[in-house]
Structures are given as structure tokens and as C-alpha cells.
């Protein structure tokens, strides 16, 4: 890609800064106005529901303002996004992957298991693979793999696997945003799904990866404010039941999560180690996690962004963990000592909407709760144990923190905005990486790399609409869960993409080895998931992904070792990437 002149770069940056300043000021004014309305006594339902809807509109507006027909901006953010913003955005993407498993952030040790694996994979992606991709000059992870394994079948197989993982994340992000709007604002699911799908298209369609990363950075700011304000307010008032960096409250919260069946008990050292390795492989080779690195100015900027990614991801993860732990302990304290017919009114309302299970039943009023508990031999007037008032998932706990701690409707609106922002940023980055892989790295290259810029972007945007439509249908039908989709994406990435990425640095590996790895990894993953059955935790997906990765790597290594002929092209590629200037692609005519 050709470098732009300094004057043009400065002019573009000035325009970009003005748009970002406008959107930032709009967000701050809107949230400040919501807080003011809360103070003057405006209806709580309106104050709590307005901020998340404004968040959707604001992020969509930012994406639309960053529209561009330049290939360099659409597929690589113009190579001009500062490291601070790229790292901030990437941290939000990484923590969004863990949001459906937020109880594990608060209830399990980070030393081993899913959370540890996610951060190990993020470290590998942020500190090594991301800067490596930036140094090679490619637009994406699939572009790197396509350059390393240029044969039609291995290239399409690798692109298909990486695009499928990105598409699963896009659908998961959309459903996370829709669930937050439905559960926390009372909106209809069909309307919410349409608005989220339209917003994700408006963010990514006109501006591509550049708009997606900038919108993700803005969404990360919303997340920081949405989670930081309630946690900081409780800490300042001395009412935060857990310490940010440790304390007995964390253990109590973990016991509650296990009793509520929101988190499985420890599964044994070997299962935890296997899950750690598999999740690390899967996260490190996810295209959305690597995408922000290619938008930075240089390989050094990508490394700086990687360091900031790790720092900000730890901050955001701690805030999410503190919020869900505090909410769980506050809920337990609110119901402790109360009989089934004397629980707080918000719990009955949440149970009526299917968010809280009271004595193994969904009860909308005290009389129904009393009958449900009587069926468990809990007599009327007898205090219920907090175990019998069980949230059905962690999302309710996150959204219920402000109400459970009397922080006001404005804090509830901000928390809902943060959850919506998490989902929308994951949807946007997932949509972009999926559509770019299929529309650019696969279809465009099959046409001989001679298409006009407008046609290239049209193909990518057509794929984008298709994936967004699938996300809309999944959100309104609720046939899948965000946690299941993210788990499957990580497992698919670990089983098919990570082994091929490892083989890319082996001089004896060629197209045959890559194809064997992808096919064998996919078959082993499918077989492991089939044998495990339909009710799976993320640990089961991770172990299936590890089985696929083992089979895939074994097949690739065996194929490479039995091959007798040398592979000069592979040797030149590996040496140039690892020991040379790293540039493996010719300048893009459209850039």
C-alpha cells in the first residue's frame, strides 16, 4: 500500500479529529443530561431507557461520519489510527468475548482456566501476531494466510474457517446488544434486533475497518464510564462489597455463582489446563482480535497498541468482575431473611420476565412465589435461602447492579449502555472481518485482483448485508446463545486457524499441509462436539477445539515430514517474514 503524503495525512487526521470530538461531546452531553433528568425527578423508566438507545444512535452516527471509498481506509483504517485508540478498542473487543462468562471473571482464579487462556491468547495476539501482521503489510489475518498458502483450495478453506469464526462473533455481539435492550429497557425483541442490525451495518458498511475500530474505541469509552461510574460510586461510599484486587467477598460471590448454576465447579487440573491452552490458541488466532493492529501506523505502533490492549483489558475485566460480584452479593443480601412473599418488588418483576428463578419457577407476584416455594416444602413466612432466588444468567446481574444498590436510574441507563456498547462493538468488528475475508480475500482474489475499487467494496458490502441478516434472524428467534456462539468461534479458531497459522512458519509446510490441517481439524472438532452432546459449557468447546488442533497439527506435520521435495517459495516466505523486511504483498493498486 502506498504511503500518503504528509499534507494529505494531516488533513485527513484533522477531519477525523473533528468528527471524533463531535461524537465524544455528544455522548458526554447526552449522559450528563440523563443524570440531570434523574436528579430533577424525571420518570425512571425513561431515564434508564434513553441512554442505551442513544448509544446505538451515537455509534452508528460515528461509523457513518467515517465513510470512505478508499481501499486503504476501508480495509486497514488508512494505517493511521494511533496506538492509544487501537489498543483501547482491541481491549474492549477482547473483554466483550468474556462478557457471557463474566461469572468466571469474578468467581474463579485467573491463574488457570478459561479466563487465563483468554488473556494468554490476547497477549500472543497483541504483542506478537498483531505487530507481525502490520509489518508484513497485509490487510488481515486471512490475507496473511492466503499469501502463505496461495493454492485455491487451502486458501478458501482457511478463509472459510476464519470467516466463520468472525461471523459467529458478529452474531453473538448482535444478540448481546439485543438482549441488553430487551431485558434492561423493556423494548420489543423484533424492533431491537432490527435497530442493532441496522446500526452495525451503518457503522461498518460505509467506513469498513477504519470506522469499526474508531466506533469500538468510542464504545470502549462508554463501557469504561458505564461500569466505572457505579463501581467507583459504591467504592467512594464504602458500599462496594468486594475489593478491586482481592478480598473475602470474591469467594462468597463465587460460591453464589456455583449455587445458582451460573458457573460450573472446578473440573480438575487437566481439564483446566486443556481449556487454558485451547482458549489461548483460539483467541490468539481470531481475526477480530488481530484486526486493530493492522490499522496502526507501523509495527512499532502495533506493539505499543498491544501493550495498551493488555493494560486496558485488565482494567475493563476488573470492572466487569467487580460489578457482577457486587450485584450478586447485593441480591443475596436483599433476599436474605425475607420470605417468598416479601421479596423486593424488582425481583418479582424480573422473575415475571423470565430473568430470575424463584424456587425453581418464574413468578410475577408474591402469591405465585409463595406457592412455588411451598412446592419445595418452604412454609409461608419462612425466610428463603438466597440459593432459591436464582438469576438465570449473568447478564441480569450486570444490569441489576444500580437498582440493587440504589444508585439511581441514570446509573442503570449507563450500565445498560455499556452492555449494548459491548455487543455492538463485537458485532461491528466481527461483521467487518468476516465480510472482508469472504468479499476481499476470497472472492476478489478469485477474480484475478483486477477489479475496480467500487466493485471490490460492493462485493464486501454484499457479504456484510448477508451476515447482518443472519444476525438479525438469530436475535429474533433466539435459537442460539451468545455464550455458545463465542465458545464455538474460539473452538473453531483453535482447531482450524491456529494450526495453519503455526504451519505458516514452518519451511516444510505447503498448500497440502495447510489443507490437511484445516480439514482434519474441522472433522475432529465436529466429532468431539457430537460426542459431547448438546448441553455444553465453554470448557467442553475448548477441549473439542484442543482435540481438533492436535489432530490438525499432527496431520500437517506428518504430511510435511513425508514430503520429499523442497519448497523454495515457502522457505523464502518464512525467511522474509522472520528474518527479512517482512513485506510479503505487493502495493495494492486500489490503495
Domain count, the chain: 2
Residue 187, pLDDT score: 86
What is each CA distance from 430 to 287, 527, 544, in whole angstroms?
A: 8, 26, 23
Q: Please indicate, yes or no, if residue 223 is contained in any of the structural domains.
A: yes
Residues 345 and 261 occupy one common structural domain: no
Q: Please indicate, yes or no, if residue 35 is contained in any of the structural domains.
A: yes
Q: Please indicate, yes or no, if residue 591 is contained in any of the structural domains.
A: no
Residues 168 and 194 occupy one common structural domain: yes
Residues 67 and 90 occupy one common structural domain: yes
Query: Can you read off the three cell numbers belonging to residue 257?
Result: 455463582
Q: Please indicate, yes or no, if residue 388 is contained in any of the structural domains.
A: no
Strand, coil or helix: 357: strand
Residues 515 and 551 occupy one common structural domain: yes
**Taking 70 as the threshold, does the pLDDT of residue 273 lie above it?**
yes
Residue 579, pLDDT score: 79
Residues 110 and 233 occupy one common structural domain: yes
Residues 346 and 263 occupy one common structural domain: no
* Model pTM score: 0.91
- Residues near 363 by Cβ (< 8 Å), separated by ≥ 6? 348, 351, 352, 369, 371, 372
Q: Please indicate, yes or no, if residue 448 is contained in any of the structural domains.
A: yes
- Which CATH number covers residue 572? 1.20.1730.10
> What is the tens place of the pLDDT at every residue in 98-118?
999 988 888 766 778 899 999
Residue 453, pLDDT score: 59
Q: Please indicate, yes or no, if residue 24 is contained in any of the structural domains.
A: yes
Taking residues 219-243, what's their average pLDDT?
Answer: 89
Q: Please indicate, yes or no, if residue 449 is contained in any of the structural domains.
A: yes
Q: Please indicate, yes or no, if residue 389 is contained in any of the structural domains.
A: no
> What is the tens place of the pLDDT at every residue in 511-568?
999 999 999 999 999 999 988 777 678 889 999 999 999 999 999 999 988 877 778 8
Distance CA(41)–CA(294), nearest Å, equals 47
Give the residue among 427, 442, 352, 398 at the shortest CA–CA distance from 139.
442
Residues 408 and 471 occupy one common structural domain: yes
On average, the pLDDT of the chain sits at 87
Residues 445 and 531 occupy one common structural domain: yes
Residues 368 and 454 occupy one common structural domain: no
Residue 8, pLDDT score: 63
Distance CA(487)–CA(283), nearest Å, equals 10
**Taking 70 as the threshold, does the pLDDT of residue 443 lie above it?**
no
Q: Which of 319, 350, 383 is the last residue of a domain?
A: 383
What range does the domain containing 362 cover?
Answer: 338-383
Residues 352 and 223 occupy one common structural domain: no
**Taking 80 as the threshold, does the pLDDT of residue 10 lie above it?**
no
Centre a 10 Å sphere on the Cβ of residue 429 and count the other Cβ atoms it contains. 34
**Taking 60 as the threshold, does the pLDDT of residue 12 lie above it?**
yes
Strand, coil or helix: 389: strand
Residues 350 and 317 occupy one common structural domain: no
Distance CA(508)–CA(354), nearest Å, equals 56
What's the per-residue H, E or C state across 73-104? HHHHHHHCCCHHHHHHHHHHHHHHHHHHHHHH
Distance CA(221)–CA(403), nearest Å, equals 22
Q: Which of 383, 418, 450 is the last residue of a domain?
A: 383
Residues 442 and 526 occupy one common structural domain: yes
> What is the tens place of the pLDDT at every residue in 58-90?
999 888 888 776 777 888 888 888 999 999 999
Residue 591, pLDDT score: 46
Amino acid at each position: 500500500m502506498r504511503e500518503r503524503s504528509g499534507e494529505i495525512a494531516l488533513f485527513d487526521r484533522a477531519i477525523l479529529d473533528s468528527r471524533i470530538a463531535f461524537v465524544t461531546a455528544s455522548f458526554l452531553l447526552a449522559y450528563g443530561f440523563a443524570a440531570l433528568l434523574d436528579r430533577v425527578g424525571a420518570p425512571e423508566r425513561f431515564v434508564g431507557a434513553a441512554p442505551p438507545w442513544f448509544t446505538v444512535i451515537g455509534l452508528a452516527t460515528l461509523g457513518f461520519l467515517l465513510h470512505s471509498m478508499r481501499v486503504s481506509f476501508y480495509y486497514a483504517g488508512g494505517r493511521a489510527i494511533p496506538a492509544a485508540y487501537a489498543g483501547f478498542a482491541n481491549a474492549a473487543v477482547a473483554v466483550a468475548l468474556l462478557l457471557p462468562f463474566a461469572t468466571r471473571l469474578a468467581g474463579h482464579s485467573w491463574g488457570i482456566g478459561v479466563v487465563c487462556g483468554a488473556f494468554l491468547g490476547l497477549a500472543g495476539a497483541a504483542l506478537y501476531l498483531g505487530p507481525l501482521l502490520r509489518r508484513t503489510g497485509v490487510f488481515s489475518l486471512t490475507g496473511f494466510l492466503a499469501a502463505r498458502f496461495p493454492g485455491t483450495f487451502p486458501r478458501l478453506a482457511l478463509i472459510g474457517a476464519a470467516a466463520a469464526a468472525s461471523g459467529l462473533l458478529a452474531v453473538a455481539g448482535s444478540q448481546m446488544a439485543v438482549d441488553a435492550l430487551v431485558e434492561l429497557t423493556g423494548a420489543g425483541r423484533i424492533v431491537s434486533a432490527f435497530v442493532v442490525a441496522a446500526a452495525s451495518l451503518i457503522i461498518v458498511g460505509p467506513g469498513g475497518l477504519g470506522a469499526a475500530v474508531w466506533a469500538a474505541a468510542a464504545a470502549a469509552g462508554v463501557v469504561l464510564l458505564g461500569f466505572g461510574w457505579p463501581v467507583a460510586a459504591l467504592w467512594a461510599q464504602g458500599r462496594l462489597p468486594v475489593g478491586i484486587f482481592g478480598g473475602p467477598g470474591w469467594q462468597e460471590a463465587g460460591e453464589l455463582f456455583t449455587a445458582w448454576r451460573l458457573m460450573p465447579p472446578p473440573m480438575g487440573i487437566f481439564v483446566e489446563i486443556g481449556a487454558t491452552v485451547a482458549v489461548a490458541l483460539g483467541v490468539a488466532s481470531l481475526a477480530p482480535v488481530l484486526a486493530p493492529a493492522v490499522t496502526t501506523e507501523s509495527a512499532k505502533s502495533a506493539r505499543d497498541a498491544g501493550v495498551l490492549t493488555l493494560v486496558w483489558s485488565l482494567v475493563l475485566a476488573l470492572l466487569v468482575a467487580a460489578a457482577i460480584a457486587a450485584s450478586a452479593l447485593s441480591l443475596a443480601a436483599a433476599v436474605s431473611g425475607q420470605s417468598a412473599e416479601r421479596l423486593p418488588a424488582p425481583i418479582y418483576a424480573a422473575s415475571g420476565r423470565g430473568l430470575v428463578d424463584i424456587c425453581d419457577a418464574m413468578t410475577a407476584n408474591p402469591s405465585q412465589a409463595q406457592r412455588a416455594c411451598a412446592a419445595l416444602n418452604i412454609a409461608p413466612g419462612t425466610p428463603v435461602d438466597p440459593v432459591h432466588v436464582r438469576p438465570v444468567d449473568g447478564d441480569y446481574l450486570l444490569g441489576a447492579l444500580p437498582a440493587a444498590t440504589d444508585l439511581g436510574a441514570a446509573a442503570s441507563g449507563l450500565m445498560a449502555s455499556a452492555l449494548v456498547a459491548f455487543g455492538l462493538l463485537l458485532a461491528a468488528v466481527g461483521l467487518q472481518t468476516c465480510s472482508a475475508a469472504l468479499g476481499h480475500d476470497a472472492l476478489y482474489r478469485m477474480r484475478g485482483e483486477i477489479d475496480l475499487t467500487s466493485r471490490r467494496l460492493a462485493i464486501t458490502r454484499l457479504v456484510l448485508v448477508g451476515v447482518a441478516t443472519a444476525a438479525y434472524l438469530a436475535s429474533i428467534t433466539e435459537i442460539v446463545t451468545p455464550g455458545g456462539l463465542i465458545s464455538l468461534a474460539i473452538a473453531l479458531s483453535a482447531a482450524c486457524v491456529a494450526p495453519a497459522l503455526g504451519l505458516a512458519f514452518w519451511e516444510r509446510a505447503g498448500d497440502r499441509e495447510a489443507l490437511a490441517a484445516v480439514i482434519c481439524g474441522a472433522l475432529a472438532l465436529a466429532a468431539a462436539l457430537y460426542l459431547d452432546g448438546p448441553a455444553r459449557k465453554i470448557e467442553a468447546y475448548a477441549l473439542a477445539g484442543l482435540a481438533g488442533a492436535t489432530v490438525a497439527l499432527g496431520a500437517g506435520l506428518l504430511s510435511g515430514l513425508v514430503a520429499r521435495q523442497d519448497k523454495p517459495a515457502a522457505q523464502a516466505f518464512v525467511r522474509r517474514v522472520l528474518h527479512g523486511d517482512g513485506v510479503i504483498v505487493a502495493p495494492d493498486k486500489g490503495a
